[in-house]
Amino acid sequence: MPRHIAIIMDGNGRWAAQRALPREAGHRRGVANIQRVVRALAERGVPVVTLYAFSTENWRRPTAEVEALMSILAEEIEPQTRELHEAGVRLVHLGDPTPLDPVLQDAIAAAEDITKNNDRLVLNVAFNYGGRDEILHAVRKIIADGVTPSELDEGVFGRYLYTNGCPDPDLIIRTGGEQRLSNFLLWQAAYSEYYHTSVLWPDLDEGELDRALEAYRQRNRRFGALDAQHHRDEA
Ligand code: IPE
Ligand code: IPE
Ligand code: MG
């Protein structure tokens, strides 16, 4: 079983278009699907889940769509947090909060605080997250902290990322059919297994999650080593 599954939640707009609904309706259905997926993964014993909700590039969308996404988050963060809290989920925000409305920033901080002692599952929500932004943010802080070149290694660098303390994702799932990372977890995805499905995010259910987990079980992860050698090192 993967220790960390990261999901690129794509296809909300197409889900709505298929039903002749406004894109916003797709985003609302997308938010509603978070509970189903997180509960299913918790039941299957996955300890860390990361969801990509809004990228640093998504600001390029029309203002009305960006505003709709921001107001959906503002409306949904409290009720969603309450449900996740009951399910024993700890919420962690990944990304740069500073361009967000201060009210939203406070709501995010409150959601993290309310759930901070939960230990059934860690749910990272990547919102205003970009892999390149995360790396630059880390480098700036490393320089500001006066870390010397010889002190810097992969472990130190990883602690400066938003994902500090999380294992790298074992499996990255992308819904909606595209086969790209779209600036998601660039550093952490170095050896992730990748699964993409044409299922749109609001439709992602237990059946498709189990297909992704089965595909993952069939993969042979070598991390650059040879099969036998890797298994010997693990033993
Ligand atoms: C994913 O759905 C949600 C966000 C990126 C915020 P999209 O809005 O990208 O849906 P499609 O790709 O247009 O169907
Ligand atoms: C990726 O989806 C970002 C999120 C799911 C938050 P996009 O729909 O923004 O990706 P592109 O633009 O097709 O690469
Ligand atoms: Mg999309």
Tens digit of pLDDT for each residue in 35-83? 999 999 999 999 999 999 999 999 999 999 999 999 999 999 999 999 9
Please state whether 223 falls in left (phi above 0), alpha (psi between -120 and 50) or beta.
Answer: left
Q: Please give the order of strands across the beta sheet that includes 89-94.
A: 89-94, 121-129, 48-55, 4-8, 171-174, 193-196
Residue with CA closest to ligand 2 atom 3:
55
128 is catalytic: no
Q: How confident is the model at residue 233 (pLDDT cuts 50, 70, 90)?
A: low
Q: Are strands 89-94 and 171-174 parallel, antiparallel or unpaired?
A: unpaired
- What is the share, in percent, of the chain residues with pLDDT greater than 70? 97
Can you give the pLDDT at residue 230?
61
| DSSP strand pairing (48-55 vs 89-94) | unpaired
**So what's the pLDDT on residue 67?**
98
Cα–Cα distance measured from residue 181 to residue 194, given in angstroms and rounded to the nearest whole number: 10
CA 78 to CA 113: how far, in whole Å?
12
Residue 8 domain-assigned (yes or no): yes
Select which of 33, 58, 124, 128 is catalytic.
Answer: 58
Total structural domains in the chain?
Answer: 1
Residue 202 has pLDDT above 60, yes or no: yes
Nearest to 134 by CA among 150, 166, 157: 157
**Test site for ligand 1: of 14, 129, 182, 203, most ligand atoms within 8 A of the Cβ:** 14
Mean pLDDT throughout 99-119? 98
Position 110 in a domain: yes
Neighbours of 232 (CB within 10 A): 10
Q: Per the domain annotation, does 159 fall within a domain?
A: no
Angle, alpha carbons 189-119-79 (nearest 5°):
90
Q: Is 12 a catalytic residue?
A: no
Lowest mean pLDDT among 132-136, 163-167, 195-199, 230-234: 230-234
CA-nearest residue for atom 8, ligand 2, is 10
pLDDT at 235 over 60: no
Q: What is the pLDDT of residue 111?
A: 98
Instruction: Note whether residue 155 is domain-resident.
Output: no
- Span from the CA of 130 to the centroid of ligand 1 (angstroms): 15
Give me the domain span that covers residue 114: 4-130+168-222
Say how many Å lie between the CA of residue 13 and the centre of ligand 1: 5
Q: Tell whether 181 is covered by a domain.
A: yes
Residue 140 inside a domain? The answer is no
Q: DSSP character for 169?
A: P
Ligand 1 atom closest to the CA of 200, numbered from 1: 14
Tokens describing residue 63: 């203002």
Q: How much is the pLDDT for 231?
A: 62
- The average pLDDT across 23-44 equals 98
Buried b (16+ CB within 10 A) or exposed e, 149-183: eeeeeeeeebebbbbeebebbbbbbbbbeeeebeb
Q: Is the model's pLDDT at 150 over the cut of 60?
A: yes
pLDDT > 90 in the chain, percent: 96
pLDDT given for residue 227 in this prediction: 82
Alpha helices in the chain (DSSP H): 12-18, 23-43, 63-86, 102-114, 131-144, 154-159, 206-218, 227-234
Rg (CA), the chain: 18
CA-nearest of 191, 175, 192 to 12 is: 175
Instruction: Tell me: pLDDT of 163 over 60.
Output: yes
Q: Tell me, yes or no, whether 11 lies in a domain.
A: yes
Which residue among 8, 9, 10, 58 has the greatest number of ligand 1 atoms within 8 angstroms of its CB, and so is best to mutate? 10
CB-based contacts of 59: which residues, under 8 Å, 6+ apart? 66, 99
State mean pLDDT over 122-133.
98
pTM: 0.96
Has residue 91 been placed in a domain?
Answer: yes
Is 68's C-beta closer than 6 angstroms to any atom of ligand 1? no
Nearest-10 crossing angle of helices 23-43, 63-86: 30
* Ligand 2 neighbourhood includes 10 CB (under 6 angstroms): yes
We report the CATH number of the domain holding residue 46 as 3.40.1180.10
What is the rounded average pLDDT of the residues 175-199? 98
Question: In the prediction, which pLDDT does 234 show?
Answer: 62
Q: Nearest ligand, CA of residue 52? A: 2
Question: How many CB atoms within 10 Å of residue 207?
Answer: 9
Alpha carbon of 8 to ligand 3 centroid (Å): 9
- Mean per-residue pLDDT of the chain: 97
Q: What whole-number distance in Å separates Cα of residue 52 and Cα of residue 114? A: 21
Q: Which residues have a beta carbon within 5 Å of ligand 3, which is an ion?
A: 10
Per-residue pLDDT, averaged over 185-206, amounts to 98
